[in-house]
Amino acid sequence: MSTSLRWLWHSDCLTRLCRVRPYFRGNDFVGHFISDDRLLRLGHQLLCALFAAYDFPDLYREKYPHHDPDPLDDLRSLEDSDFSENLVMLSALARANDDERETLSAVEKALPNGVGTLEENGSTKPLTPRAACNKIIHAETIKYELDWSEEHPIWNRFYKREGAEVRGKYKNPRITVTGTTQSGREWKAEINAINFLLGVSTEFWNWNLA
């Protein structure tokens, strides 16, 4: 999606597609925030799409991705574009919600190490949930990798705090987005999909995860 089209689409999201509710501080009306069920629905759809991608290769007649044409190719033909559009939509809505309610600031406290890393100008730094939203909205490319982890992707810090050593084989997908700054510098963000999607679409800060 081109930059100009993305911004037109972003504006359309916020004016037509969002379901909003009035937001008050005390008795004072201060604006609207995005309906929680809209964020939940997008987060759920995206995480389901990622987890399904792990298992699709088992359904091909020949070993994926080096295979003859298969009916699954037709079924999955819109997979990448749908994923990218839903991810940009979720990021735009989560950022708009944060502008009114500071929700991502609360998530940042629950995820002190961030939701990924940003490589830019020869350095690498942690990526906050809001920064991840910004990078996704401005990305030139969006793709995902189907990684695995021995540590639980959600509850690992909780287990460590409790002195429990829990190991397994967990699906732990990663989203990679790339782009260019206004000054022409290239950047790349690696985002932990599970922590990011839960962080921006749920009240993640209410859970005792650390």
Q: pLDDT per residue over 155-202, tens digit each?
A: 998 899 899 999 999 999 999 999 999 999 999 999 999 999 999 999
What pLDDT sits at residue 101?
Answer: 87
pTM, whole model, 2 decimals? 0.82
Number of domains in the chain: 1
Average pLDDT over residues 64-86: 92
The beta strand positions in the chain, using DSSP E, are 20-25, 28-34, 116-120, 123-126, 141-145, 148-149, 170-171, 174-180, 186-192
What pLDDT sits at residue 104?
Answer: 92
pLDDT at 66 over 70: yes
Average pLDDT across the chain, whole number: 85
pLDDT at 20 over 80: no
What pLDDT sits at residue 32?
Answer: 47
Q: In whole angstroms, how large is the CA radius of gyration of the chain?
A: 18
- pLDDT higher for 65 or 11? 65
Half-sphere exposure of 208 (CA within 13 A, CB side): 4
What pLDDT sits at residue 210?
Answer: 63
Q: Specify whether the CB–CB gap between 113 and 66 falls below 8 A.
A: no
Provide, rounded to the nearest whole percent, the portion of the chain with pLDDT above 90.
Answer: 64
Domain encompassing residue 91: 3-206
Three-state DSSP state, 14: helix
Three-state DSSP state, 175: strand
